[in-house]
Amino acid sequence: MTAFFESLGMNYEWAWFVATICGILLIALPLMLAVAMIIYVDRKIWAAMALRRGPNVVGPFGLLQSFADGLKVFLQETIIPSAANKGLFLIAPIITFTVALMAWAVMPFAEGAVLADINVGLLYILAISSLGVYGVVISGWASNSKYPFFSALRAAAQMISYEVSIGFILICVILWAGTNNLSDIVMAQKGAGLGIVNGFFFNILLFPMWVLFLISGMAETARAPFDLTEAESELVAGYQTEYSSMAFALFWLGEYANVLLMCALNTTLFFGGWLPPLDIGILYVVPGFIWWLLKTFFFFFVFSWVKATVPRFRYDQLMRLGWKIFLPMSLLFVVLVSGYLMLTRYG
């Protein structure tokens, strides 16, 4: 895109600057639309599994429900509790939302369709997802209220715990792909399974890692069954209890953008990203973006499915699962994967 703006007579730096701004808008605006629609999809799936209709009033099939909700919160008054720490109270949702958008900078949507094709792509995602906890922690503290504070402490412990095992899982993928760049990781998956399946999930050493990643992803985004940060039976609404109007909406959007990011990461790291499922010539006729979208949507369906069917974990069970099962398992697989690669590829 930089070349296009250069052809309009700008010098390289300004062309790059304008091209990057355009790229950001090209990702962020459709992402916001996708988040609005995915909230609708989530509610529909959830309703279908509970034998309800779900949103069906606003627009055809209730498609405009999210926009109606958005308009509603936009028109509401932002209430700031008098005991709250005003500055931090307002910054917290902005942090959550911004961080949720930032991670998408390195996501490859199709071949070459990535805003920042950097060498440390996966590390960048890890770094940004570790920032996500600040929105929750700051909001819990700044609300100056008991339940949000409990929720914030829970969130901090939960996210740090699961980031450790996610880190090890990512190391397995990095070792196998031999690169940290997300586009290269996708290309490394071409024909990875028996020379015909595009994706690391078909690999017997990486399949268990994918299962762990899926579950850790749910815990990392505080999605049901690990949504202990907003367990309504214990903590009212968790860290968002004191929030209203747009501040609340920013949390809401950020949360779903994070869930979408986790789905997209599952797609990119284990299911071949924009590549078609099988390495057959005719499947490449369909644009890569369509495959990426289908796979990501499939994972979102899995997330919704789990949300609708699995009851919430107890907090001690959550910690036990993270530290006593996932961490040793993923550590073991780092050793196994690197041992196997030393034996076969680098030996």
Partner 1 sequence: MIHTIAFYIFAAMVIASGALVITARNPVHSVLWLILAFFNAAGLMVLVGAEFIAMLLVIVYVGAVAVLFLFVVMMLEIDFAEMRAGFVKYFPLGVLLALILVSEMILGIGAYSAGSMHLGTADGVGTPLMGESNIRSIGALLYGRYLFLFESAGLVLLVAMVGAIVLTHRERGTVRGHQNINKQVRRRPGDATVNTRPEVGKGIEL
Residues that bind partner 1 (CB under 8 A): 13, 16-17, 88, 118-120, 123-124, 126-128, 130-131, 133-134, 137-138, 141, 149, 152-153, 156-157, 159-160, 163, 180, 316-317, 320
What's the closest the beta carbon of residue 309 comes to partner 1, in angstroms? 16
What's the closest the beta carbon of residue 315 comes to partner 1, in angstroms? 12
| Dihedrals phi, psi of 247, to nearest 5 degrees | -60, -45
| DSSP-derived secondary structure letter, 321 | I
Q: Which of 116, 41, 30 is nearest to 304 (CA)?
A: 41
| DSSP-derived secondary structure letter, 311 | P
Alpha carbon of residue 29 to chain centroid: 17
- Between 156 and 293, whose beta carbon lies closer to partner 1? 156
Spatial separation of the C-alpha atoms in residues 236 and 203, rounded to whole Å = 43
Spatial separation of the C-alpha atoms in residues 137 and 332, rounded to whole Å = 32
Tokens of 183: 């586009």
Who's near 80: CB < 8 A, 6+ residues apart?
Answer: 86, 89, 90
What's the closest the beta carbon of residue 144 comes to partner 1, in angstroms? 11
Cα–Cα distances (Å) from 241 to 41, 80, 100, 308, in that order, read: 25, 12, 20, 23
What's the closest the beta carbon of residue 113 comes to partner 1, in angstroms? 21
What's the closest the beta carbon of residue 197 comes to partner 1, in angstroms? 28
- Between 133 and 231, whose beta carbon lies closer to partner 1? 133
Q: Which residue matches tokens 């004191």?
A: 242
- Between 73 and 123, whose beta carbon lies closer to partner 1? 123
What's the closest the beta carbon of residue 86 comes to partner 1, in angstroms? 12
What sign results for the dihedral spanned by CA atoms 104, 106, 294, 297? negative
What's the closest the beta carbon of residue 50 comes to partner 1, in angstroms? 20
- Between 41 and 118, whose beta carbon lies closer to partner 1? 118
Amino acid present at 77: E
> What does the angle CA 310 – CA 57 – CA 40 come to, to the nearest 5 degrees?
40
Half-sphere exposure of 274 (CA within 13 A, CB side): 19
What's the closest the beta carbon of residue 141 comes to partner 1, in angstroms? 5
- Between 41 and 157, whose beta carbon lies closer to partner 1? 157
- Between 118 and 188, whose beta carbon lies closer to partner 1? 118
Spatial separation of the C-alpha atoms in residues 127 and 123, rounded to whole Å = 6
- Between 159 and 169, whose beta carbon lies closer to partner 1? 159
- Between 128 and 209, whose beta carbon lies closer to partner 1? 128
